[in-house]
Each structure stands twice: as C-alpha cells, then as structure tokens.
Amino acid sequence: MKKWFLFCLLPWVCACTGKQTHDTRADSITVAAYYFPGYHTRDSSELPYSLMHPHDWTEWELVKEARPRFADHAQPHVPAWGYEDERDPAVMARKIDAAADHGIDVFIFDWYYYNGRPFLNRALDEGFLGAPNRDRLRFALMWANHGWADRFPYTGGTPYVSMYDGKVTPELYDKIGDELVAQYFTQPNYWKIDGKAYFSIYDLSSFLASFGSVEAAREAMQSLDAKARAAGLKGVHWNMVVIENPRMPDGTPCEYADVFERLGVNSATTYIIIHQAQLPDLQTDYNQVRDEYLAYWARHRSDYSMPYIYNVTMGWDSSPRTDQTQEWSSDYNFPYWNIMRNNTPENFKTALQMTRDTILAHPEVMPAVIINAWNEWTESSYLEPDTVNGMAYLEAIREVFPPRASSSKP
C-alpha cells in the first residue's frame, strides 16, 4: 500500500517541480474494461445449465428477444457486428483491435468456477488467448464468485432457480490456484501491477464463507501469493469489489474497509456504479447516477487504507433478462430493476472526463479506471458498436484517454 501511495504521489511532486506535465500524468492512467463471457456456445458438461437450454444457446437470444417494456423504453439493442460467437479467435481479434485502437489497455474477464471446473471460459481460453493479435491487450480476471441462478429469462414473482453456489472448499481453492498461475497469471500479457498479477474478487461474503473466517481467507490469499512467486512473479495484486452489505461467515454484517485491511488487500474497486448510487425512478437520469457515485467515493475514499480504482459505467438496463411476455413491474426482484436513461455517448464522455480529473487531482487514487463494460448486452452496458450509436462510446474513450504506449502504464 505504501508503494502505491509513493507511486501515485511521485507524478504530483514532479508536476509541482516542473519536471512532469499534467498530460504526462494522464498518460499513465490504465484503462480497463470488464468483459462478460456470455456470448459463446456452451460446453455440454456445464450442468445443469446445458440441460435448461439448447447446446447452441447463448445470451444473444435474450438480446434478440428484448422489447420495450414501458413508454419511451429503448429496446432492443442490436449489435452492429452481429450476434457473434466470441470463442472464435477471428471474432475476438476484431474486438481486441477495436479496444486497443480506442485507448483500452486491459480486458478484465468475469471468471467463473462452478462444480469443480471453469464455467463460461471459452471466450477467454479459445477466443482471446487464441487470437493472433492478443498481445495488443493485456487481460486479467475478476473471480465472479457469486451464486448463479436461472434468469434466462426470469419471470417476476417466481422463486429463483439456483444453479450454482459461488463458494468453494479450501481443497478446491488450492487446485484453482494452481490453474490460475499456470494458465493465466504467467501469460506474458497478463495485467501485472508492480510485478504482481491483478486478481479481483467480486463477492467478499462468498469468499469469506469459503474459508470460514477472515484469518483463514488471508492465509488462502497468502498461499496463492506464494504460488505466484514460485512461478517467477512478485505475487498477486489482490483487488476486491465493493458491492453492498457484506457479511461475515456467521451472517453478521461487516465493513468492507475493515475486512479489506485485515485481509491485506492491495486495491478496491466497483463493478458498476449503481452499487454505490440509487435508481429512484423507473428511468433515472444517467448524470444523476454518475454524480451520486462520484459524491459517494469523495466521501468514503479516505475510509480505505488501500488505493481505490474508479469505475465508469456506460449504462444499465437489465430488462432483457426478464420475461418479455409478463407485464413490467419494478416491485419484482432483479432483473426487474429501474434503468438508466440519457446515457448518451456525450454524457458517457463527460463521466470519463470527470473521472480522469478526479484521478489526477488525488495522488492517493490508483492511476487506473475500469469501465463497465465491454459487452454486458443483457444489462445494456456495452462499448461494442450497436446500430444506433456505432463506435461513439469507443470514440469517447479515445478522446479522453488516447491510445498510448503500454510501457507507460502500471
């Protein structure tokens, strides 16, 4: 943590002494985008998931079937590149080129592990790692260790059908650690911060429950650190996502900042800005949500003893996951949530600019930004071009964070 503070403080000192410019500091900001791997054909061993849908089913089917659910509702969203299979290296190569050409440095893949094996892994393992231009982007993993329920689509008011539990046993975790190091962390284009492999945990409560206590979870983290060092790395850069209402293994509430410090976490971040902002209206204005998120972290950033990585979210509308034949009601649980409206490319660009300026103004903030998301089409938060806005969201990134030499990034 001290290293990161000094790393972030140095550019500020140099700027004050006239040895480094504001623009040079901006050039050091790493731009990452979350990647949801839900748009490729499944492996037949993905049970019970493969029993509930045809073998060639993907979440594109939800995107295709989405319809306006209320007045002035902008659905469906149609991908300009078509309904591609992301496990194809040629398909992924176009994504990589578009991302790199528009200032994105890293894809952070949502990474799943259920029933003792990887899940939804073919976009990364076959598509990204098989792409001929893979070295144009770095990649990293966010372990999406939450439970998995059938919302493909979900009918409001009915019980959730649980399919997978996000917890793992310590024995399985040890096996997972070996796979992480051998298959991903040691890849030459894996995102490393200060020589450490960036690895993010989505669900703190599930992670703690896997080991039974904060102390046991810390030991598990140290074990993976040791595996990474044995493989020639400097360890693991542990990142944790702040969602809402974390709990200890016994079910009692806990505070993220306190547990993160006890675990020895290296940085904190957010997956999507609605985790720290509200959607009070059926169609809540994007700028209102953005401002509430930024205000939240202006108040709480100093609560954390480790650096925070800011998030910029493109949009939010999970209605494609809902039963399109059912009358809409915001009284139902997720995915019947209120949505963001007015998330135009221009407003998205303003959010990027405000976030960049916040990072530059606060040396304790990590010089990185994570965008939600490259392709969360079923939650209507995507950077990939659609038939309405084309490449406008990517162009906004390029204008605020122009492509730079990767060697200048942490």
Place of tokens 């659905």: 75
DSSP bridge pairs for 25: none
Write down the mean pLDDT value for the chain. Answer: 91
Report the 10 Å Cβ neighbour count for 174. 14
Per-residue pLDDT reduced to its tens digit, 301-348: 999 999 999 999 999 999 999 999 999 999 999 999 999 999 999 999
Domain 2-408 has CATH 3.40.50.1580: no
| pTM more than 0.85 | yes
Contacts for 16-25: CB closer than 8 Å, 24+ residues apart: 22/360, 25/360, 25/367
- Any idea where the domains of the chain sit in the sequence? 2-408
Max distance between CA atoms of the chain, in angstroms, equals 64
Residue 76 has φ and ψ, to the nearest 5°, of -85, 165
pLDDT digits (tens, 9 = 90+) for 34-84: 999 999 986 655 544 555 666 678 999 999 999 999 999 999 999 999 999
Q: How many residues does the chain have?
A: 410
Q: What is the per-residue pLDDT for 54?
A: 65
- Which DSSP helix (H) or strand (E) runs through 171? helix 170-180
